[in-house]
Structure 1
């Protein structure tokens, strides 16, 4: 899809580029779930309910997931901004990364 037609923050389901639009939508849902899991994990770590081994395992799992997400974004030629859908008056779907 030509860059001048691409608007960041919107899902594009152009019939000629359906695979790209579908990949963008699926990756957006996965990123949203990843962020939710990450926030929940941080709360559990801060709450002191996990053992040192569980914290280590959780950290490794989250790092591996982030690496896989980066690989998939590269395969589908997506940037972080492409996964943050604009919901109009509600704002963006995903919180801004710090």
Structure 2
């Protein structure tokens, strides 16, 4: 085996515990940020489904019964989002991630 092959098979020595990088994270901040991210994704999907539903209603693709069920479902989902935002002390603006030059993620409704 050549020196190059031995070097490629060598495993780096483990750092002693004192040299390992430790990240001190505030558990509450991590939970809040994760909740914010998840709720942002749910809100984005909710808005997309709502827009698609409105398009289908305007095109006449849905029966009156389907429109009624869809309307109630969307209202309940919006209420659930409001409750979840309150539970995690978030506002709708907190969910609107700034994408820099692309602007905000969620359109203003």
TM-score range, shorter chain: 0.7 to 0.9
Q: What's the offset of the Cα at 1:15?
A: 2.5
Tell me the CA shift for residue 92 of structure 1: 0.4
Alignment partners' CA distance in 2, 1:80 and 1:31: 9
- TM-score normalised to structure 1 length: 0.84
Whether 2:78 is the aligned partner of 1:66: answer: yes
1:76 and 2:84 aligned: no
Q: What secondary structure sits across from 1:15 in the alignment?
A: coil
Q: CA-to-partner distance for each residue in 1:72-95, whole Å, 9 max, x for gaps?
A: 000000000000000011110000
CA distance in 1, matches of 2:76, 2:107: 21
Q: CA RMSD in A?
A: 1.1
Q: What is the count of residue pairs matched by the alignment?
A: 84
Q: Does 1:57 align with 2:69?
A: yes
The runs of 5 or more residues in structure 1 that have no matched partner are 1-13
Matches within 5 A, 1:1-98: 15-16=25-26, 17-97=29-109
Aligned structure 1 segments of 4 or more residues deviating by more than 4 angstroms:
none
| Distance (whole Å) between structure 2 residues aligned to residue 21 and residue 58 of structure 1 | 31
Query: Which entry has the higher C-alpha Rg, 1 or 2?
Result: 2
| Structure 2: tracts of 5 or more residues without a match | 1-23
Between the aligned partners of 1:57 and 1:27, the Cα distance in structure 2 is 24
